[in-house]
Amino acid sequence: MLKELVVKNRSYRRFDGKTPVTDEMMDSLVGLARLCPSSRNQQALKFMPINEAGQCEKLFPCLAWAGYLIDWPGPDIEEHPTGYIIILGDTTLGTKFDIDLGICAQTILMGAVEMNFGGCMIGSIKREQVKSLFDLPGQLEILLILALGRPVEKVVIEPIIEGDIRYWRDLEQVHHVPKRSLEDIRYKPDMF
């Protein structure tokens, strides 16, 4: 059921570093993105799968993890992602990537969850370092990086208390994510 998949698809940041994201899994996930709707059908996104251990470790320090958790520098080495997908915008094919980016990123992550894996969208990226690391040509703009792996953390949804939207971890390292209620997000105009 779709709702169960959406609920299970959390932003996972800690993974089993011994369980690989295989080439076949990467092909399947990128294949899902290929089938997604595209604004004006430009299909201007490119997807760069990274699952070789050495490349993953070189990419890791180019990313920032969990901005609200100011005392947490990111996952320990044994909990690093075992795969990444760098989502690129090909400026020779288009210049507006935002709608396609959201659709494809969410679809890839839901595909990962369906495989009993998971991931996290990372937008805080040292872009120039990543471009240099992978020798990316100038027409490819780094839009987002998806960290992927088999999650080793529990993520739970909580109601927002006193307007505080910041996620947090408890003493058992359970990750708590406050969400607005349905009543809070549903807009009802006065006149109809």
105 CB-side CA count, 13 A: 23
Model confidence pLDDT, tens digit, residues 155-172: 999 999 999 999 999 999
SS3 126: coil
**pTM for the model:** 0.94
pLDDT at 188 over 90: no
Binned at pLDDT 50, 70 and 90, residue 121 comes out as very high
CA gap 128, 54 in Å, rounded = 19
In 3D space, the residue among 12, 27, 30, 138 whose CA is nearest the CA of residue 79 turns out to be: 12
In the prediction, which pLDDT does 191 show? 63
Interacting residues of 143 by C-beta distance below 8 A, sequence separation 6+: 45, 87, 88, 89, 97, 101
